[in-house]
Structure 1
Amino acid sequence: MPRTVVRGIRSFPLEAPVVRFLVVPQWQGSPATRAMLLVDGATAIAGDLPRAATTVLDVPVEAGESLGTGVRRLSSLLRTRELVAEAMTADTVVIGGDCSVTAAALAALPGGTDDLAVVWCDAHADMNTPESSPSGAFSGMALRAVLGEGEPQLALSPGVPRDRVITVGMRNLDDEEVAQVDGLTSLSVSDLDSADAVADAVAATGARRVWVHIDVDVLDPAELSGVSEAAPFGLTTSALSTAIRRLRDRVPLAGATISGFAPRTPADAVDDLGALLRLVGAVA
């Protein structure tokens, strides 16, 4: 039996293969007034990851400038994007930070995105552009950037086609976003009553690999409290982790993101780590 190292409440086999974890404590894409709590959230998760397989990026601490665009803090976002590109490898689980770190990860994904489907688990649509965004925060534009639209310096080129994007648990949309979700496959919270719903949707795209993006606000607030903008009637940790495991049985995972954890106190972080590490286990 392989020896194990225990950190916090999860143990990792030392001799078992493990994916690489890339911790990106970016806060500049968030619209929240206490956005820097995302740095604390990323740090808390990193403390329970295997050290030998974990890289923590030294992202900018300053807010940054918009550089004449409609994206707040763009200069810092671009610097973090460069750091992610330098560090990105295959089979990486990215730990945010705000949810826009996925756009940077996919832009640097080894092998590109031509054969990729994206499963976007998020309570919010993230489908604004600089012109439609009420906040100017890039996290609210992140999925639109994955599609190759919005601010050219941040959007994927080429973007992932709409028919290869599956949203999960989306329930809070700005008025300008409602029409923009056309062409995406949308799975509601109740759709995940079927454990195979996500796997079936991805298989139907014909994609050979899949990236799973999880903003933890997709979970019900009763499951996890450490988010900037809680949305009621969300997923259970069990339903989401089971769906991801079923997906991985059928389609190879190119990588994943877990983002949006913003605990208000260290005690809150400890309370939420059980749910978070179940999600880490599902993607890793």
Structure 2
Amino acid sequence: MPATFVVVPQWQGSVSARAMSHADGATAIQGDLPASTTIVVDVPTEAGESLGTGVQRYSTIRRVRESTDTALDRVPDWAITIGGDCGAAVAGVAHAQARSAGDVAVLWLDAHPDLNTPESSPSGGFGGMALRAIVGDGPDGLALDESTRVAPGRLVLGGVRAVDDEERRFIDEHDVSMLTVEDLAEPAGVVEALESTGAGRVFVHIDLDVLDPSALAGLSYPMPFGIGAPELATLLRAVAARFPLAGASIAGFAPRSPEAASDDLPTILRLVAALTSGAAAAGAA
């Protein structure tokens, strides 16, 4: 079945000075998606309160998570979640795990591993804790529970170029697979890393800052020496051809203006097309 797009214009998980541009980015992408297979999650404009959790804007992020879960319950098969910041991906992984009986590996393509906890985060931004929440660590209502969390051995990180101390500790302690930007240019190696997890299905997360800044202008956290857009699209097609995709997410688009968004959208839509290209992209069917 074709993917359903769940658009989550959440910005509250970002601590960038351009945080609210993430909502603009999600809305810009929505404009080029098929309306008949797109669900839009209503995101409040207010920032929200931390409520003692160590997560900035926790109250609003939790409300958005609940609304996203409800939207995903309406998806007949597999979903591509369009953020917003990376925190929007967490509900998508929970949905994929539930639909796939827990048989999911996560390919996390990001300049950052997003493996901080509320205690270790230097900023309190939930976007930097998103993957840690996916393995089950984090405050109530955000971290995945026992039935949906993903074991560290089923994570494959790709394109990471900035790692905090606690993230490094977690990666080393759990022997999390990490692939360099150069590794991503060899899709066979990425497929092999995913096969080694033993999972039958894959959830692919793309924070657009995995790309080199020369490939996309609308990045709130541009990091040099990223992968090129053609190479990333080739990688996504290879993964979609080998594995049934249990779900996917795209996050981190923060255009400076509607005109700038228009310049970047062809690159993003190329990645969307690559995710939906494989005959194996059949979700949990």
TM-score by length of 2: 0.91
What is the match of residue 280 of structure 2? Answer: none
Q: Answer yes or no: is 1:24 the counterpart of 2:8.
A: yes
Cα distance in 2 for residues equivalent to 1:252 and 1:61: 36
The answer to whether structure 1 residue 256 and structure 2 residue 243 are counterparts is: no
Name which of 250, 265, 269 aligns with 1:277. 269
SS in 2 for 1:202: helix
1:42 corresponds to which of 11, 26, 34: 26
Instruction: Measure how far apart 1:111 and its partner are.
Output: 2.0
Q: Which moved more, 1:107-116 or 1:96-105?
A: 107-116
Unaligned runs of 5+ in 2: 277-285
* Shift of residue 130, structure 1, vs aligned partner: 0.6
What secondary structure does 1:145 align onto? helix
Distance 1:112 1:253, change over 3 A: closer
CA RMSD of superposed structures (Å): 1.3
Counterpart residue number, 1:188: 180
TM superposition shift of 1:269:
0.6
- What amino acid does structure 1 have at the position aligned with 2:169? A
**Residue pair 1:84, 1:108 contacting (<8 A) in 2 also:** no
Q: Are residues 1:126 and 2:114 paired?
A: yes
TM score, norm. by length of structure 1: 0.91
Does the Cα contact within 8 Å between 2:218 and 2:264 map onto a contact in 1?
yes
- Deviation digits for residues 62-114 of structure 1 (CA, Å, limit 9, x no counterpart): 10111121011111111111111111123110000001111122223342562
Q: 1:204-283 counterparts in 2 under 5 A? A: 204-283=196-275
- Which secondary structure does the structure 2 equivalent of 1:167 belong to? strand
Asked if the contact 1:24/1:59 (under 8 Å) is kept, the reply is yes
Mapping of residues 119-198 of structure 1, within 5 Å: 119-158=107-146, 159-182=149-172, 183-198=175-190
What residue identity is the alignment partner of 1:238? P
Once residues 244 and 219 of structure 1 are traced to their aligned partners in structure 2, the CA distance between those partners, rounded to angstroms, is 13
Query: Within 5 A, what are the aligned runs for 1:52-131?
Result: 52-88=36-72, 89=75, 90-109=77-96, 110-111=98-99, 114-131=102-119
Give the AA of the match of 2:132: R
Q: Name the CA distance, whole Å, in 2 between partners of 1:153 and 1:82.
A: 8
Q: Which segments of structure 1 move beyond 6 Å, counting only runs of 4 or more?
A: none
What is the letter of the counterpart of residue 91 of structure 2?
A: A
Match of 1:96, as an amino acid?
Answer: G
Per-residue CA deviations over 1:183-237 (Å, capped at 9, x if unaligned) read 2111100012312222111112111111000000000000001011100000111
- Partner Cα separation in structure 1 for residue 137 and residue 240 of structure 2: 28
Task: State percent identity of aligned pairs.
Answer: 52
| 1:202 corresponds to | 194
The code of the aligned residue for 2:54 comes to G
SS in 2 for 1:196: helix
* Count of residue correspondences: 268
Deviations 1:30-51 (A, max 9, x none): 0112211011100110111111
Higher relative contact order (CA closer than 8 Å, sequence separation 6+): 2
1:14 match: none
Check whether the contact 1:198–1:244 (CA below 8 A) recurs between aligned residues.
no
Measured in 2, the distance between the counterparts of 1:185 and 1:175 equals: 17
Deviation of 1:150 after TM superposition, in Å, equals: 2.4
